Structure 1
Amino acid sequence: MGKYFFLLVSIFLANIISAQKAEIIYLTQEQAEALFLKQNLQLLAEKMNIEAADAAIVQAKLWENPTFSIGEVNLWSTHTQREQGQIPALFGNFAKNTEFTIELTQLVQTARKRGKLINREKISKEIAIQEFEETLRGLKLEVRESLQELIYLQSYQHILNRQHEALQKLIIAYKNQVAQGNIAKKELIRLQSSQLEMNGEIYEVKSNYNEQQKILKSLLHIPPGSIIEIKETTEKIKNPDDILLSNILEQAQNNRPDLQRANLQIKYFDKNLKYEKAQKVPDLTFALNYDRVSGPWKDFIGLGISFDLPFFNRNQGNIKIAQINKEQSQYWATQQLNLAQQEITEAYNNYHMTYFLFKEMQDENISEDLDYMLDAYMRNLMNRNITMLEFIDFMEAYKNNKQTLLSTRRNLFTQFEELQYTVGKEIK
């Protein structure tokens, strides 16, 4: 009975594990970017600011509502009032012996305030568009850097796993030799120690891999239970000698969203200054009045106009604030341009340096040589042609060199993306 119960439990647990097995999503870098543009929640939320700016323009175009008021209504009439003069009903028995006044007013803005406000809100929309482009620019860099980091970790895991498998084969063989008394046990222990160190590094790399999975899945809005596998691109990276620094410095002024936004801020505060200056001109309020009987004439209809007298408040404070904001925005725009040029120059120099370092590594073709030597060192160790110390030293050198190649490749692609980010456009 116990045997069957154990069997049922094992089958049940196996089914659970099978059901919980993560779905692997294979993506190229282009597919990952397309998914990001379609599904990134932060990007979708930021895009709604443009719709809000459109709504603000619509609101600015609206006229002020007219105001309707009714007053001087008597809720009852006394006997004396009725003896002095009956007030006839308007229709039927409605409003008999009832006095009231009606007034309809309409505010009319002067000095083209409405048009100036519309112009200001249009600049606000352009700023919202550039803020969206800035968010897109930043998130796109984050996605591309995350993709390169994931590719690096995938490849580095393969290298560590290959070394781990090689060590495992040697350990099995050495255990047999130790059992037969052909090899000292200390050599087996040295191999096992190396494997233990490698297990610790595999664990650390796997933890970094899991963290990168979390970041990328969040950016692409992919279910947490899935695993993303990125296919490496075969696209050739651009030679920095084909990129003129003077050209990309000029291109950045027309393409970087933060620079565009800084220039738009100047325009915005200029429009705002004009609007605030217009505010010192009083608006007009036109009125149409109807008085039923309380005036000298029955059913009196009159017109009226009212406006503020700008003796004390001529909007001086808000005009001064608008002038300061405009001057301040000009300083910020100049500072932003200077900072952008410094960023571009630094990114270009870093990319230039890494490109030729990676090209030199490729020309040496050291990666294939290392793979061939790994197999050769394993055979020589088994045949006692090399010492254990020589083999362990080579394994460390193999891992370090492979890691250097992978990290240099990752840095090259990442720095190219950072260069494109600083320019604000794709470098063709």
Structure 2
Amino acid sequence: MQKRKIYLLLLGVCFGLSNIQAQTQDTLQLDLKQAENILLENNLSILAERLAIDMADAEVIQAKVWPNPTLEVDEVNLWTADYQKKTGEKQPSLFGSDSFGRFRQISAQIEQVIETAGKRKKRVALAKVSAEMAQSYLEDFLLSLKTEFRKTIYSFQFHDSYAVMLNRQLTSLENIVNAYQKQYDQGNVNKAELIRLQASLLSIKDDLIEERKALNELNEELVVMLNLPENTRLSFGSTFNPDREYQLPFNYTLNYLQEEALKNRPDVAISKLDIQRIQKELSYEKAMAVPDLALSVGYDRGGNILQDFIGFGFSIDLPFFDRNKGNIKKTQFAIEQQNYFNENKLLEVREEIRKNYQNYLEAAHFFDDIDTEYIKGLDQVMDAYTEYFKLQSINIITYMDFLESYIDTKRTILENEQEYLDDLEELKHSTGLEINTP
């Protein structure tokens, strides 16, 4: 049912509604869950990364195959000189002809290489580890992409919420400026007050333009991520919640999160798989020190003391000089090197979680002394101040000071709300856990 809703929404984006004019851009309203579902279905980078798994599986198939046999045809004479006919030895004719083939020579040989020391089996094992790594690379890519995607949506929501607030104050201030202009024309107010109101109006307009530009840029990024039609305008249900309890939304300890990350993070799995991969490479390099055996069967029409001779043979490299010692030594050093890399990776992960855990707590602490009713009541107080100013119950200095303070406070709250959500996403990313917000 959820996918059906998403496809219906996408259909509406692609074809539009009948009552919308051609020049009007479609707006796709999504919540975070719907957006993520579309991301996983449509994102071109994900589709490309998934093919890497198919490619790795194909390498496993390729590693299982035997070497092709070699066919060698030799000593074929395309013509025979008169001198050769006089001095040469006649052969039986070919294809039932009395003369064809009496002076034709040919030899052929088929050779099959038999890999020794379990090279094929070791090559398959190595390819299977690479396939596991491809799966982990995809999981790591998805984890990073989802984190980036969510943070982009939070940024979009911040700029959208801030733009809505600015637009509301712009409309209110425009009405006041128009009223003041009329009063100034009648000589009831001084020009300094009108100029200050107009200056504030221009400042809000400028800020609003910058916010809309930021929204356009973020809209472009999200449309590309979601692989939507290029004229799509996006809108998201706000995750900025004034009723949110700004505290850690779970009872896990830092040590627990660190241990879970070492179990769940794809990049940790990749680091461990790298060790397995190099160990299997070492096993393969040791097998390469054992020469392969080549078995052959050959036919010779007339170049041997026996006519239509069929013979068997074999060949094998004699490992006098090259016993693959260099590659074996190199791979042994690579294992030691990767062990150091893995230890460093585990340390990085633990410290990254510590940092993100502390950053998240710091972001939550911003709201410790802020009453929820205070956040809800800001807009009401601003509206009240506007009415007081219109009724001349307060002077312009008091009104303008509160307006500037209101805008700064709203921006600060929205910025810290976004930072709180961003830090939570970073904590999710660093632990590999899907942590639900309260």
Fold match by TM threshold 0.5: yes
Corresponding residue number in structure 1 for 2:8: none
Equivalences for 1:211-250 in 2 at 5 Å?
211-233=217-239, 239-240=247-248, 242-250=251-259
Corresponding residue number in structure 1 for 2:13: none
Equivalences for 1:4-43 in 2 at 5 Å?
18-43=21-46
1:214, CA displacement in angstroms?
A: 1.4
Residue 77 of structure 2: which of 69, 74, 77 is its match? 74
Say whether residues 1:422 and 2:426 are aligned partners: no
Say whether residues 1:405 and 2:413 are aligned partners: yes
Give the TM-score of the pair, scaled to structure 1. Answer: 0.92
What's the CA shift string for 1:378-400, capped at 9, x where partnerless? 22222222221111100011111
AA of the residue aligned to 1:403: R
Segment of structure 1 superposing worse, 405-414 or 154-163: 405-414
Name the SS of the counterpart of 1:286 in structure 2: strand
1:38, CA displacement in angstroms?
A: 0.8
1:78, CA displacement in angstroms?
A: 4.1
What's the CA shift string for 1:249-289, capped at 9, x where partnerless? 11111111111000000000000001001101000110101
Segment of structure 1 superposing worse, 77-86 or 124-133: 77-86
1:128, CA displacement in angstroms?
A: 1.0
Name the SS of the counterpart of 1:305 in structure 2: strand
Equivalents in 1 of 2:262, 2:415: separation in Å? 32
Corresponding residue number in structure 2 for 1:199: 205
Say whether residues 1:296 and 2:305 are aligned partners: yes
1:236, CA displacement in angstroms?
A: 5.9
Corresponding residue number in structure 2 for 1:14: none
Equivalents in 2 of 1:237, 1:130: separation in Å? 35
1:49, CA displacement in angstroms?
A: 1.0
Name the SS of the counterpart of 2:223 in structure 1: helix
Corresponding residue number in structure 2 for 1:165: 171
1:411, CA displacement in angstroms?
A: 1.3
Corresponding residue number in structure 1 for 2:294: 285
Given the superposition, is the C-alpha separation of residues 238 and 42 from structure 1 closer, same or farther in structure 2, using an over 3 Å criterion?
A: farther
Corresponding residue number in structure 2 for 1:314: 323
Residue 144 of structure 1: which of 147, 150, 168 is its match? 150
Equivalents in 1 of 2:353, 2:246: separation in Å? 16
Corresponding residue number in structure 2 for 1:178: 184
Give the TM-score of the pair, scaled to structure 2. Answer: 0.90
AA of the residue aligned to 1:414: D
Given the superposition, is the C-alpha separation of residues 139 and 195 from structure 1 closer, same or farther in structure 2, using an over 3 Å criterion?
A: same
Name the SS of the counterpart of 1:365 in structure 2: helix
Equivalents in 2 of 1:77, 1:181: separation in Å? 124
Segment of structure 1 superposing worse, 65-74 or 265-274: 65-74
Corresponding residue number in structure 2 for 1:63: 66
Equivalents in 2 of 1:358, 1:243: separation in Å? 21
Equivalents in 2 of 1:292, 1:155: separation in Å? 90
Residue 285 of structure 2: which of 267, 276, 300 is its match? 276
Given the superposition, is the C-alpha separation of residues 157 and 178 from structure 1 closer, same or farther in structure 2, using an over 3 Å criterion?
A: same
Equivalents in 1 of 2:28, 2:38: separation in Å? 12
Judge conservation of contact 1:237–1:413 (CA < 8 Å) in 2. no
Judge conservation of contact 1:358–1:409 (CA < 8 Å) in 2. no
1:159, CA displacement in angstroms?
A: 0.7
Structure 2 stretches lacking a partner, 5+ long:
1-19
Corresponding residue number in structure 2 for 1:3: none
Say whether residues 1:92 and 2:101 are aligned partners: no
Equivalents in 1 of 2:356, 2:183: separation in Å? 56
AA of the residue aligned to 1:123: V
Equivalents in 2 of 1:175, 1:122: separation in Å? 78
Name the SS of the counterpart of 1:358 in structure 2: coil
Name the SS of the counterpart of 2:313 in structure 1: strand
Structure 1 stretches lacking a partner, 5+ long:
1-16
Given the superposition, is the C-alpha separation of residues 81 and 348 from structure 1 closer, same or farther in structure 2, using an over 3 Å criterion?
A: same
Say whether residues 1:188 and 2:194 are aligned partners: yes
Say whether residues 1:126 and 2:132 are aligned partners: yes
Equivalents in 2 of 1:336, 1:158: separation in Å? 44
Equivalents in 2 of 1:237, 1:353: separation in Å? 14
1:238, CA displacement in angstroms?
A: 8.0
Equivalents in 2 of 1:195, 1:85: separation in Å? 112
Name the SS of the counterpart of 2:366 in structure 1: helix
Equivalents in 2 of 1:85, 1:318: separation in Å? 53
Equivalents in 2 of 1:368, 1:131: separation in Å? 44
1:426, CA displacement in angstroms?
A: 0.8
Equivalents in 1 of 2:359, 2:39: separation in Å? 27
Judge conservation of contact 1:265–1:329 (CA < 8 Å) in 2. yes
1:301, CA displacement in angstroms?
A: 0.9
Task: Give RMSD over aligned pairs.
Answer: 1.8
AA of the residue aligned to 1:188: L
1:195, CA displacement in angstroms?
A: 0.2
Judge conservation of contact 1:358–1:412 (CA < 8 Å) in 2. no
Judge conservation of contact 1:103–1:288 (CA < 8 Å) in 2. yes
AA of the residue aligned to 2:348: L
Equivalents in 1 of 2:70, 2:158: separation in Å? 68
Judge conservation of contact 2:246–2:368 (CA < 8 Å) in 1. no
Whose helix proportion is higher, 1 or 2? 1
Segment of structure 1 superposing worse, 235-244 or 190-199: 235-244
What's the CA shift string for 1:339-366, capped at 9, x where partnerless? 11111111111112222323543x3421
AA of the residue aligned to 2:264: N
What's the CA shift string for 1:86-129, capped at 9, x where partnerless? 31123233533211111110011100001001101110111111
Q: How many residues align?
A: 411
